[in-house]
Chain A
Amino acid sequence: MTTVCAVVLSGEDRQQIGADGVRAARLWLEATCRARVEWDNPTLCKEKLQYRKASASAGSMDPNDYFSFDIGGQLVGGDMTGKLFLAEIKNHKRMSGTPFREFLAKCYRTYEEIPNFADQFLWISWAPFLANEWDRITTEEFIEESVTYNEFTRSIALGSEANSNPETLKKVSERLVVVILSDEQIERLCLNREELQEVKKALLDIRGTG
């Protein structure tokens, strides 16, 4: 399957849109009071957000042998308190399903490499995708299809392994959370910045006593 981006963007524009998306998603996540985005700089937080592709040799220093998530942190509240999450954010106006399949390959590989480091895998995008397959995009079958989807996803998830691990597929499936945001939702249906200052006071009182 090939994908075509409708608008040709410069690398800088793409980077800016990505940064805007990370900022907006981060604010939205933390405004829910159910997430703390502690790691939001993949360059600075390599040890928290960066993982080695399955195809890479051990100890490789080649940046191409690594992939990273956009943000990470922990969930808060009820049974989810302390659960670590990693998230990929796509602030695109329209999208094919390929980035999501690549994300699934990353999740698969991350669980294989360090199973305790990601209790939840969050996908946050601004555009719907794979509408015809929406009801199965978090299933084990779809994840298996994704890790073998193309050479790139295979290099991330499997490397030289011929087959995927059913246990990993199951665990990744259980840990997936897919969120579709819109600018209007963030602008009109979320607490504004002044209101968040009030939330802050409550959070410091309730949870912030160190």
Chain B
Amino acid sequence: MSSSTLNGEIQEALAERSTAGTIDRIKSALCNAIQAMDRNVEIHVTDYFNHTFVPDLVLSWPKAPEKPEREVFTRLDCRPAVLADDLLTVGSNQPILIGLDNATLNTDHPNDFGAVGQQSVATSTLVTDPDAVEDLLDSSTPSRDFGSVLPAALLKGGQGVVTEPQAQVLAEASHGIFAAATISHRPADITTNAARISPYLSNVHGDRFFTFTRALWEATGGDPASFPISTDLSGLDDDALRYLLEEGPEESDQFWRAVGERVSYDRLVSLQVASSRNVHHFIRTNADRLTVRVAHVDHRVTIGEAMAARTGWHVVDRALMHISPAFSTYFARRREDIPVTIEPSDGISLKDLSSRVEDMVVESATLASGDGTEVTIDAPVDANVVHSDALQLFAMSPSTRIVKIVLNADGRRLECRFDERLAYGHTSTLFELPILLVHALALLAPGISPTQLDDLSDLVSPAAQRSIRSNATLTLFDWRE
């Protein structure tokens, strides 16, 4: 018969005669619980169990830029003097000690653990037990908004002795602080619950937790000036940012714009965040802050097929992708980061080019004949090659196609290859995402211009558009209007 609680499962495992069976079952139960506390954690299971100085598990967060690790030691002997001695041996690595002897840990004489508590805080070590883990997990059920934030923070930066009574207090405080941050917006409730939580988080993780709380406060209409803890919203760490993008509330443009103030393209793609509606909102509201060099329009249904039902912005590996019903557009810093194979195709005719470029100033055009010969025609300074006699002449042959143009896009040189449906900044020139977007759509997605999409604001928020207009000398948004 299997037990439904973590502690019950562990006690059943201990009652097995087989030593290997016991260890496997306990580690498996702990791994499941830890994974439930934080689904971003990776767990390395060692060959050791209850060892004095070699951990049972090594937790890591490979998606986080600093690649943090934390060791987990199980402990069968949980007498205060023994745990104090353990802290002397392993405390320097700020590990987690999970005591499996609940009866001893939940003694009627909690003062016995006073020294362990002080020592564990001093060494940023978390001493806990299965019942406490269970209580924290109960508080992280989907019915409790943001219930998994504190358990995950404790896993990374928890400290002190957290047995069942403390876990219950923490679960209540977590519920209280998020209710205050998202519903009541009462500063006093934030302060009260923060005081209950902060002793159990290291300084770094406490700061991150309360920054995240403030992000929710502002996202849900709380007055930024009234938030009672000093934090920097744009200082959200990667875990908090990933959490917001993957599981946070679907919030206003204003909120996502505040969150994205210091989020670069590189940081966004390095988060490896799962596709979500919030990712769409984030990119849409911060498009002007994301700079890219390469765009590729793909008419084939590839990755987009899987996401066909979800038009909008996505992150795919190290690229951004926008899906519309007709095609997918990829944006990246490097051509090799485009996550689909770029199939060669024919160029376009001069007539097509003329209709696509409209008022854009094309500095040169490269034509290819049927035998592969290429000719490049450069326009005089400030002239548009599209209207040149030379281009008209060369383009007369039916077998000649225009394969590449170089144009001035907002004062920067943009190269566009029609035979690869690729637009890219000259050498290492970067473009704000909206500028490359509208040029790529105009030049590489025939028949569809931004104004023909359902609504341009679905791609780039009004605030991001305003930012582009105010900073750019000439924008396609203006040009399209």
Task: Give chain A's interface residues, CB within 8 Å of chain B.
Answer: 16, 19-20, 22-23, 26-27, 30-31, 36-41, 43-48, 74, 84, 117, 193-194, 196-197, 199-200, 203-204, 207-210
Question: Given A44-B76, A47-B17, A210-B46 in contact, is the A27-B52 Cβ separation under 8 Å?
Answer: yes
Q: Tell me the nearest residue of chain A to B52, going by C-beta.
A: A30
User: Which residue of chain A has the shortest Cβ distance to B100 in the bound complex?
Assistant: A44
Task: Let me know if B51 and A210 touch, CB within 8 A.
Answer: no
Neighbouring B residues of A48 by C-beta, 8 Å: 17, 19, 22
Q: Is the CB of B76 within 8 A of A27?
A: no
**B16 adjacent to A47 (CB under 8 Å):** yes
Assess the B53–A200 pair: CB atoms within 8 A: yes
In the bound complex, do residue B52 and residue A38 qualify as a contact, i.e. CB atoms below 8 Å apart?
A: no
6 more A-B residue pairs beyond the given contacts A41-B101, A208-B48, A209-B46, with a C-beta to C-beta distance below 8 A: A19-B79, A23-B85, A37-B51, A41-B78, A193-B53, A210-B44
Say how far A19's CB is from chain B's closest CB, in angstroms: 6
Q: List 13 A-B contacts (CB under 8 A).
A: A30-B53, A37-B52, A38-B19, A38-B49, A39-B76, A40-B76, A44-B76, A74-B19, A193-B89, A196-B89, A197-B93, A200-B55, A209-B46
Q: For chain B residues 455-477, which have a beta carbon within 8 Å of chain A?
A: none
- B3 interfacial by beta-carbon distance below 8 Å: no
Rounded to whole Å, the gap between the CB of A111 and the closest CB of chain B is: 16
Number of B positions contacting A (CB below 8 A): 33
Q: When A30-B51, A40-B77 are in contact, do A204 and B58 touch as well, CB less than 8 Å? A: yes
User: What residue in chain B is nearest A41 (Cβ atoms)?
Assistant: B76
**B183 close to chain A: CB less than 8 A:** no
Q: Of A30, A43, A209, A210, which is in contact with the most chain B CB atoms at under 10 Å from its CB? A: A210
Q: Which residues of B contact A (CB under 8 A)?
A: 14-17, 19, 22-23, 44-55, 58, 76-79, 81-82, 85, 88-89, 92-93, 100-101
Chain B residues whose CB sits within 8 angstroms of the CB of A74 once the complex forms: 19
B49 touches A44 (CB 8 A): no
CA distance A34 to B100 in the complex (A): 25
On chain B, the residues within 8 Å of A46 by CB distance are: 15
**What chain B residues lie within 8 Å of A196 (beta carbons)?**
52-53, 89
Residues of chain A lying within 8 A (CB to CB) of residue B101: 41, 43-44
| Chain A residues, Cβ within 8 Å of B76 | 39-41, 44-45
Q: Is the CB of A19 within 8 A of B82?
A: yes
Whether A16 and B81, one on each chain, are in contact in the complex, defined by CB atoms closer than 8 angstroms, is yes
